[in-house]
Structure 1
């Protein structure tokens, strides 16, 4: 039996925001109770090439010659993954032969569990060839095949690294926001709560030319339209649905937003900034609503993901959650690296045959080991 104590795993993540690839090189170390915990040895980030970013975003919608374009985009993405892996190995001074496996999620371009499928662009066999390291990929499909949502995937990792002797929540602010509720002695629950960076970045790019609103500075020049915010929340049945639930750009996209901006709104002098400010509050309000309904007993909230760098969003969350919030850095996990670390842990879970698909999170019919293995 392989214990994996002292073993090395790499995690790679290119999330819904499609702004870059984050990588983490982890070592599994035994705790006093015999459980294994991941310790980060190196991190790396590679910016998404602008042309590839635009193509990946375009492939979220139907278009011409999709299959060919998707295959080329997957190969290009994996070459960026391989660059990230090379940086990690160089920084940690570890050889490829020392790594047990890479966890590579790929880029989600369709997520429709209600129709029985989810699709992530990836080329794991190519990554195994380029990196000369085994790859674990395709994490969502087994969960969906067994009746689950296929997402979120991080709660089982959050349970491993953030559990404490009191109830707490972990909030990931990627393109979509998701929450994990951790309670002593119980399995985690986790679910998507609604949009985060996906709509904020979309609106910012459209009206400023910048891919994201750095620190929320542009949005702070606007004013939240409380009436419009209430209409947005009331108009969306998905937001009111109980977990298990997951979502993505299939739902929260430009069409969703454009349909919900009232006719004539553009006549207002600061309407662009006001929409951005209202989107900030949309994320904060839907997260707070989800926590109040599904995890009212949590005493604190740890935040990770790219949205944790948006100061305006963090302040809005602090005001609405009415409990202490802090970055996951305070618990030993850099907020920027948490998702990449999660996929290193998921690669370990696959190799150790630990179920990462669990009913309390995704609604899967029973615990399932997730992922497909591509040897080096």
Structure 2
């Protein structure tokens, strides 16, 4: 393996449940050589969640310090992965770092998206070239800056003999639509693990609903589900993207009338995730024959079963069936995006993000 074929991807998503690090060999596949999940310090995680769902920073000094602390976390995750894999940093061409989204405002008067994690600091602490800040160029070109994974999904999972879709069940759900012929599209579908996790943690003390057991102990509340589905965001046509600033605990609390059991609310949130994904797919690409799921939601059998129930006649499976680890798909995707950037190739799909055209994404921070 030459240095030019090894890339390292770093990803922390809307759930802020940790940093996923993936070491990828692009000479054979791509092939995931090693993966590692590194937790955030609890105080930092709590602050990032608060900022991500619309909280205000106490000062510019706090924002500057958080940017560096996040970068420390990403660099430490990269170093830990290489150490555990026994791979010298000199063999890695570059790190692709997503950063941690703390605000996403593609519809603002002055649109912006902000992912913390200073690439300068990551490069210094890791000793490797870093490509970071992938989303803002697309936003500058009139796009949403999200989702960015459809280009990677197209390269890895497109087929000429059937219409497919890739469903990422992370903090936010999002689809990549891969028709046999025609334009690739992608869009966010709404909340997934971000709400499920925060509600579960509040009422059980556990950071996520292991195997969907908490949801399975309750029943979906039809009235609450309809109230949540009435949010105007769900009726917006693609391209569209969202995050914790739209779907957060206060948003949920505003829909509760009182007296709901926590388990019933969890079951309703699970059904919200499934309903919004299934309805979006049947509306936007009804001829789909295969859904390949990735992200933490794949580990929730209750969610996956309900999704299959909602999509009769469509194969619903994990990306594992196609040789791609669902836990590290996004980290692998940002390794791939770093490779595209250094090769001078665009990393966005205007049909997905709404940008004015293809753009080379990210900023390069040399080792």
* Residue in structure 1 matching 2:309, options 314, 319, 334: 319
In 1, Cα distance between the equivalents of 2:164 and 2:30?
A: 20
Is the 8 Å Cα contact of residues 216 and 267 (structure 2) preserved in structure 1? yes
Q: Which runs of 4+ in 1 moved over 4 A?
A: none
1:139 aligns with 2:134: yes
Q: 1:95 to 1:185 in 2, by over 3 A?
A: farther
In 2, Cα distance between the equivalents of 1:187 and 1:137?
A: 27
Q: TM-score, normalised by structure 1?
A: 0.92
1:244 aligns with 2:239: yes
In 1, Cα distance between the equivalents of 2:132 and 2:277?
A: 29
Q: 1:230 to 1:176 in 2, by over 3 A?
A: same
Is the 8 Å Cα contact of residues 6 and 27 (structure 1) preserved in structure 2? no
1:183 aligns with 2:173: no
| Deviation at residue 62 of structure 1 after TM alignment | 3.3
* Residue in structure 2 matching 1:105, options 98, 120, 142: 98
Partner of 1:304: 294
Q: How many residues are treated as equivalent by the alignment? A: 361
In 1, Cα distance between the equivalents of 2:55 and 2:164?
A: 40
1:367 aligns with 2:358: yes
In 2, Cα distance between the equivalents of 1:50 and 1:91?
A: 23
Partner of 2:326: 335
In 2, Cα distance between the equivalents of 1:351 and 1:81?
A: 20
Which aligned pairs between 1:189-338 and structure 2 lie closer than 5 A? 189-233=185-229, 235-262=230-257, 265-266=258-259, 268=260, 271-322=261-312, 323-338=314-329
Unaligned runs of 5+ in 1: 31-36
CA RMSD of superposed structures (Å): 1.5
1:39 aligns with 2:31: yes
Unaligned runs of 5+ in 2: none
| Deviation at residue 93 of structure 1 after TM alignment | 2.9
In 2, Cα distance between the equivalents of 1:62 and 1:281?
A: 27
| Deviation at residue 282 of structure 1 after TM alignment | 0.2
- Tell me whether 106-115 or 39-48 shows the greater mean CA deviation: 39-48
| Deviation at residue 7 of structure 1 after TM alignment | 1.2
* Residue in structure 1 matching 2:87, options 58, 82, 94: 94
Is the 8 Å Cα contact of residues 106 and 112 (structure 2) preserved in structure 1? yes
Partner of 1:34: none
In 1, Cα distance between the equivalents of 2:48 and 2:63?
A: 8
Secondary structure, in 3 states, of the residue corresponding to 2:26?
Answer: strand
| Deviation at residue 70 of structure 1 after TM alignment | 2.4
Superposed CA offset, 1:89-108 (max 9, x none): 22443221221110101110
| Deviation at residue 25 of structure 1 after TM alignment | 0.7
| Deviation at residue 212 of structure 1 after TM alignment | 1.1
Is the 8 Å Cα contact of residues 130 and 364 (structure 2) preserved in structure 1? yes
Is the 8 Å Cα contact of residues 96 and 132 (structure 1) preserved in structure 2? yes
Superposed CA offset, 1:233-288 (max 9, x none): 1x2111011100000011001121111112xx32x5xx211111000000000000
Q: 1:64 to 1:326 in 2, by over 3 A?
A: closer
Partner of 1:33: none
| Deviation at residue 319 of structure 1 after TM alignment | 0.8
Is the 8 Å Cα contact of residues 150 and 349 (structure 2) preserved in structure 1? no
Secondary structure, in 3 states, of the residue corresponding to 1:114?
Answer: coil
| Deviation at residue 20 of structure 1 after TM alignment | 0.6
Secondary structure, in 3 states, of the residue corresponding to 1:202?
Answer: helix
| Deviation at residue 64 of structure 1 after TM alignment | 4.6
Superposed CA offset, 1:136-161 (max 9, x none): 11111110011001101111010111
In 2, Cα distance between the equivalents of 1:48 and 1:251?
A: 23
Secondary structure, in 3 states, of the residue corresponding to 2:324?
Answer: coil
| Deviation at residue 38 of structure 1 after TM alignment | 2.0
In 2, Cα distance between the equivalents of 1:324 and 1:66?
A: 50
Partner of 2:120: 125
- Tell me whether 142-151 or 6-15 shows the greater mean CA deviation: 6-15
- Tell me whether 250-259 or 84-93 shows the greater mean CA deviation: 84-93
Is the 8 Å Cα contact of residues 3 and 90 (structure 2) preserved in structure 1? no
Superposed CA offset, 1:8-34 (max 9, x none): 11100011111111111112127xxxx
In 1, Cα distance between the equivalents of 2:298 and 2:63?
A: 30
* Residue in structure 2 matching 1:83, options 64, 76, 83: 76
In 2, Cα distance between the equivalents of 1:27 and 1:6?
A: 9
| Deviation at residue 187 of structure 1 after TM alignment | 4.1
In 1, Cα distance between the equivalents of 2:327 and 2:51?
A: 25
Is the 8 Å Cα contact of residues 5 and 29 (structure 1) preserved in structure 2? no
